[in-house]
Structure 1
Amino acid sequence: MPRLRMEKRRLLPFLGLLLLLIATILISMELALERDRVMVPHLVGATVPLAMERLREQRLQGKVTGEDYDARFPKGAVIRQDPPPGSWTRAGRWVSLTVGRGSDTLFLPDFAGLPRGKVQALLGANGLVLEGVSQVHSARVPKGVVIAQSPPPGTKLRIGAQVSLLVSLGPTEPVFLMPELVGKEGRYAVQTLKAWGMRVETSSRRDTGGGSARVLAQRPVAGSPISPGETIWLELGQRGP
């Protein structure tokens, strides 16, 4: 028994040193972990460059992971972050940022007097959808220009709302009645039709009658409605022996 007691006394210093070593290691690890722990800064409301600078100061990294509408913040500002502000995390960790696209509502501008193509571009740039286009003749509004819109100007709309346009076809084209040209002098008939804005196609057929070349046939027939740009066919007599 005395010998066993002596051996225990000899081991006590070694056990004390071992416990001290373990305690030192644990304390060192805890201190190392404490040095690696940083607090996530408050980034909501900051611009992306400013948010990135604040993260670098805390030895953190940031990345923009999405965009969303939020009327409380200007376009381009951080509206959400993960992890949240005030939480503790390890240095070097990534912080996800959601950037605002501004308000999800707007007041519809007045598009009257603008070309249709420009209005379509403005609708797309503002997140609105062109629902449909109606067209009507107008003596005052040039062709291709917006006359009216629905909803009316000043209406408050959400992003993605639909807008309809009324677009001008320009002045109504005049309508003539095809005259009776058979028997008329060919040159006179062609000049008359061209003065009305018609296209004239002719063919010739030998005519035994005397005098200048005259109209032998026409298409369309006399009395038919015709408009500028329409093609009229005339058969002219060709004088010969």
Structure 2
Amino acid sequence: MYYNGSRVFLISFLVSLITSLVVCVLFLYVLPISKGGEVVIPDLTGSTPEQARVIAENRGLLLVVGGEEESEKFAENQICRQNPLPGSVVRSKSSITVFISKGASNVIVPELKGLGLSEATIKLNDLGLRIGDIKTEENSTIEKDKIISTLPVAGSRVKRGDAITIVLSGGAEMIEVPRLIGKALTTAKRIIEEKGFVVGSVSYEVSTEFDVGIVMAQNPKPGTKARKGSKIDLIVATVLDQ
């Protein structure tokens, strides 16, 4: 008997709860909230126009699209503004004018090449942009810690608030200077180019130690570190003019 009584009570409670929920749903979303022909304006912001139209019609209201606006808060194709405001009381069959978000406003990525990070940060912040990832690449033409390029590239249109990837110069690669002393001039030139250097000045001096056409001195010295793309000067052995 006790078990049956508890079961009847539980079933009655669940039926009452479900009935209450159904009434609430009908009250809020299906039946117009009205009193004496008046309706409370629902909050349509964040809804799509299609969703908003269903909500408005279920409350006995008319939906009017007033246009499109840029919005930082609401995504594209969402309602970002409405008139009357949510919670206002109007007569049944009144209209609600809504404005559709076009998304965040677009800005053009500025040219940052050659700038330092602090300068670039200020320039981006002024446009509503921010620095994202920072990468470093070796570069022989851009000073170390200065910007080589950006991603998206300068001139691209992006949304306000987007992050811009920065590529910084790590300076030119430092590589070991090869030993060229004792090699023929043609061989030395080939090695210089293969190692990423540039042939600098070539001068000739008389030598009793080296054969004619053989490199007898170089600058920078072999084994030292020099910037990739820098010059290596050579002194080549020759003989006195007869």
Q: What TM-score does the superposition give when structure 1 sets the normalisation length?
A: 0.35
- Who wins on radius of gyration, i.e. which is larger? 1
Normalized against structure 2, the TM-score is what? 0.35
